[in-house]
A and B are shown apart, each in its own frame.
Chain A
Amino acid sequence: MNVTWLLAWRNLWRHSRRTWLTVAAMVFCNILLVFLISLQLGSYTMMIDNTLGTFSGHIQVQHEGYLDQQKMRQTVPAVTELAQTLRGQDGIAAAAARGIAFALAASEERSFGIQIVGVEPAHEPGVSTFPGLVKQGRFLSPDAGANSDEIVIGSVLAENLKVGLGDELTFLGSGRDGSFAAAVATVVGIIDTGFDEIDRSIAEVPLAWFQQVFAMGDHGHSVVIRVIDFDAVPQQVSRLEEDLAGSAELVVLDWDALQPGLRQAIASDMTSAWFMYGVLIILVAFSVLNTQLMSVLERTREFGVMLALGMGPGKLARLVGLETLMMSTIGLAIGVLLGGLLVWYLSLAGFYFPGMEEMGKRFNLPERMYPEFSLLAIMWGPVTVFLFALLAALYPALRLFGLQPVAAMRAA
């Protein structure tokens, strides 16, 4: 057995250029796959994170039934305290309490339906990108309390109501108990998310003031949570459910419940990528096939001699197989190493291609993508290449079984 290994190794380096070229093909392919797969996985996380980061967060605690029915009286009691408690827990990056109401904002001739969100000004930026999208004026001040009648509205809403910074905005809605909830607020900031549907109807006010105007007491409608590690969402959800088991009416919703369809949209994107990876892997397999076949063909005489000397065709086949194994291992190792380094570097520094910056600025998306640096991302591609390369060596190896020693020795 030892001899076979040694022979295989030496065979490889007898034609070092050919071996290196094939290894190079494998390494190139591996690096490419490692890079693309990490980028793809990283971009999914980014896409999900981006979508969730705009407003809905990774997890929310709500009253049961609120998600579907949105009734004013489906509230979360002591909402600010709950947010405070959750904020301090392990793995939670940010938690913010909210109250939501639908109201009529009136201009001279018309009233417009708007969604008023009572937020905690100091904590809301941690769970939503809206505070960062204030294009005129400023967001609500962090110490805005029950007496502060500040309001931040969407740009299209501001246009429709014909109000600007410093103007007053009156609105009318229903409180938690159904009573009139009406108030006047001063516009301190105007938000531009880039999406008309949002900019037409969004308005944010300090939660304390919201609770007062809408007769909420200390209640709210949800606690929005952003976790540090996206992959830990399911664990966080179970832990929260345990912690809140005492409050029968509260439910913990993960982002899949909050944004149905998002998970699957991502999954479907992977399907198209598979085609591409498959093609790359097949090409590399061809390369290996090419190399090994050539190698076998050129050594026909040599093999003929070995067969004549008594080496079984099985052993010969194993020889060829071993050569491929060694070559592929080298390709795997170097590919994983270089690919891994590249991905590690990019996972810290970020990667972008032209056009991304534009989109990023416009929609408040990050301007760089961060490939995912994980074992799965790095090994998946190269391991598949490795396996296919081994497969590719089958044909040349099998040819050896039909080799006639005498005819082989006569071959040119």
Chain B
Amino acid sequence: MKLLLALSLAMFAVAGAADEPLAARDIIQRAMDHFRGQTSYSEMTMVINRPEWQRSMTMRAWTEGDKQTLVRVTEPRKDAGNGTLSLDGNMWTYTPKINRVIKVPSSMMNQNWMGSDFSNKDISKNTDIIDQYDHTLLEQRQQDGHTVYVIESIPHEEAAVVWGKEILVIRDDWIMLEQQFWDQDGELVKRLAASKIQEMSGRSVATVIRMSKANEADEWTELQTAEVEFDLDLPGNLFTLSSLRNPRQ
């Protein structure tokens, strides 16, 4: 509800100040909102690529607001039924093999999420960027008929963030084209890049998102969105531990 209000206000603000340049922070906020919507449901395939092998998993994901995310694996069979639930920065995992919900302790938050190049922290706290950083609009340019904003985000002094800075490239339809993660020495460490932008459920959506390390060509993870629905009605008890434990969905 609050988010809806914020969005509406933002939209009025934009409408009213169409000629004024947008603040960097707002651009990012819009991109986040666009990505997650108020609620969302998506079906996607995650492909993990390594020099020696490649693995893929199909999964379903539900989100509500900034802080709630539920992911359920549907294929392959040996992983089917595994799920992770994030609530406000905490994460729980469930696997039918042991029929138990385990809270991911802080020591594992930096570990890979389901073996991918995303960390548990990436999945559970991906909207941290807005509050924990200071944002500056570096440039605004034209690309493929769109206006593209390039924003530099620098973490606050005591933000629980390891990066020296992040560079975000956001298109005027609020698609985040790229998110770059730089270390404190000015070297690029990893990069999240979007491609194959299509219309789905009334929005432009980047159907392929790839997270790759800057210096390893053969190691990357891709999220390929097959289907997505925004702002649908989700059951109130969806983002709970008991729901996590129930692989019916």
Contact = CB atoms under 8 A, between A and B. Distances in A.
Q: Do chains A and B touch in the complex (CB under 8 A)?
A: yes
B115 A178 contact: yes
Give the contact-size bracket for chain B. 20 to 34
9 contacts: A104-B108, A111-B105, A170-B98, A172-B98, A174-B111, A175-B115, A178-B116, A180-B97, A182-B98
A111 B109 CA distance: 13
Q: Top 4 A-B pairs ranked by shortest CB distance?
A: A178-B115, A182-B95, A170-B98, A182-B98
A179 interface: yes
Nearest to A170: B98
Interface in A103-130: 104, 106, 110-111, 113
Max count, chain B CB within 10 A of own CB: residue among A110, A170, A179 = A179
A332 B96 CA distance: 77
B102 A177 contact: no
A175 B78 CA distance: 12
B48 A182 contact: no
A218 to B, nearest CB: 15
A178 B55 contact: yes
Contacts of B102: 104, 106, 111, 170, 172
Interface string B104-123: 11011001101110000000
A184 interface: yes
Contacts of A178: 48, 55, 112, 114-116
Interface of B: prevailing SS? mixed
Contacts, number: 53
B211 to A, nearest CB: 14
Given A174-B115, A178-B116, A180-B95, A111 B53 contact: no
Interface of B: 48, 50, 53, 55, 78-79, 82, 93, 95, 97-98, 100, 102-105, 107-108, 111-112, 114-116
B242 to A, nearest CB: 16
A106 B97 CA distance: 14
A78 to B, nearest CB: 16
Interface residues of A, number: 18
Max count, chain B CB within 10 A of own CB: residue among A106, A172, A183, A184 = A172
Interface string A173-193: 011011110111000000000
A113 B107 contact: yes
A46 B100 CA distance: 46
A106 B55 CA distance: 28
A182 B97 contact: yes
Contact of A170 (B48, B100, B108, B111): B100
B112 A172 contact: no
Nearest to A213: B97
B98 A179 contact: no
A183 B115 contact: no
Nearest to B115: A178
Contact of A111 (B48, B82, B95, B103): B103
A175 B104 CA distance: 16
Contacts of B50: 73
Contact of A184 (B48, B98, B107, B116): B98
Nearest to A178: B115
B55 A183 contact: no
Nearest to B107: A113
